Structure 1
């Protein structure tokens, strides 16, 4: 989850007449085929399409959607399963023009952008794309991640929306849900790339916690200018999975009212003892070198020992994405020692 939100300029109100006029114009062009050797969705099936999302909402369309718009996390997961969205929103392009890690293997030169930061969603451009389905994850209640609250009602009337719950479920179940969505959109889950990725994920899961790694106390956190946040494993599917696999993850004693974290001042950075610290590596979070300027953080045994490694928060929920995460985490833990 984002640790802070920076409101951007307000959006121009879009009249419903414009919504329906644009939605009625033009044909539904098919999703672009894969050009990178990865599995691609099959041609649209004839007849109506239905799917029930994690809100219990039954989505019904006259045919299988091909013009899919997705929040970057959802887009990245679906891309790995063979679905090619036409547009994305959420962090996907860095200031230098490079690709944000959160968008995974999505080719950002081949998709439209309707927003790159929190609270940025170009409603007019979204309508002009004539979308047939919007897909996003959900962290709290039924709120779609990165869909601005002020524009949500208009966005909902342009095309059906599909929500994937990212909290309260084991990591494999979240990945399986994206696989289910991809299959419903025409992807082949038996494609060699998908089955190979699942085999990697399964192997990496079994190999993560060695006897040496089991003896390490691991703190997972993120930082900001005034505070640091200690992860509550139950509210983060990936950290919960690390713990289920046998990693000794710090569980905060007092979780914030909204869940997900315990907020601490930097003065209390030593509240929990740890041999290894995993730090949120997202671009919007404070980076380790900045954290080291905080004396209390720099003094922590794990920091002094150089046992601080990246935590890939908001990694794409696919077998490819988390095979990479688990393999890299195992390699990092192999370098660490009990302090």
Structure 2
């Protein structure tokens, strides 16, 4: 079992997240409580415009602050290539959240699974930033509001904790490319339902080629994050909309969200179970190939044709 923190910078990032971010969320709730209402019927003033766009502005500020832990891990100025994996994984999260909206189950979204895989491969700080960015961008589709920073923090912490647990060896070592893996859909019943030399059989063969069973511990962690995400978002609902707050109202809120949280956790479990192993393996290959580890790298270009001829003449 290794340590949770790969280096001192990760420890500083963790302290920043558990102190500064909750203070920001508390400040947002105070602002929401004392925010003046909009005036209808009269000509809108600049104050009304600020109030109308305050949720997006505060979420954008929260996103900017979310970059701080990511920058802390670099001993140099981050380059564009360091941001590409985060942008790609966040885009996958936005698309996945949008596409899975057609599933007739509440909160059945793959965002947490994508954020977890990002944190496992690229580190806790990248996982946090991916979760925060996914929540911010996807809410332009699902609706911005005072809940956006809370969603950003929730998904961000899921990615950060996943990265910390991977540092500690909780999920095992990511397999190298080409390693033998335990495929999904290998039970005999799948061959009977999808016989060979048919279109269904071709679909099964393709599913087997792109899937690989992830460690059970990683899948169970994904199941737990569905409840963790929902329980944290319940705090926002309690503080912002419930009065009075007592044991009865708290119990009612958490009980009413049980099936939403269960659906979210089951979706995360299934996505990690189906594609967690091949995705993390391929993402790790990208990280190693392009040196996306945050440290300084010095490359020496090979000598050109002119310099080689000069050396031969000497």
TM range (shorter): under 0.3
Structure of greater relative contact order (alpha carbons < 8 Å, 6+ residues apart)? 2
Q: Rg larger in 1 or in 2?
A: 2
TM-score by length of 1: 0.20
Higher helix share: 2
Higher strand share: 1
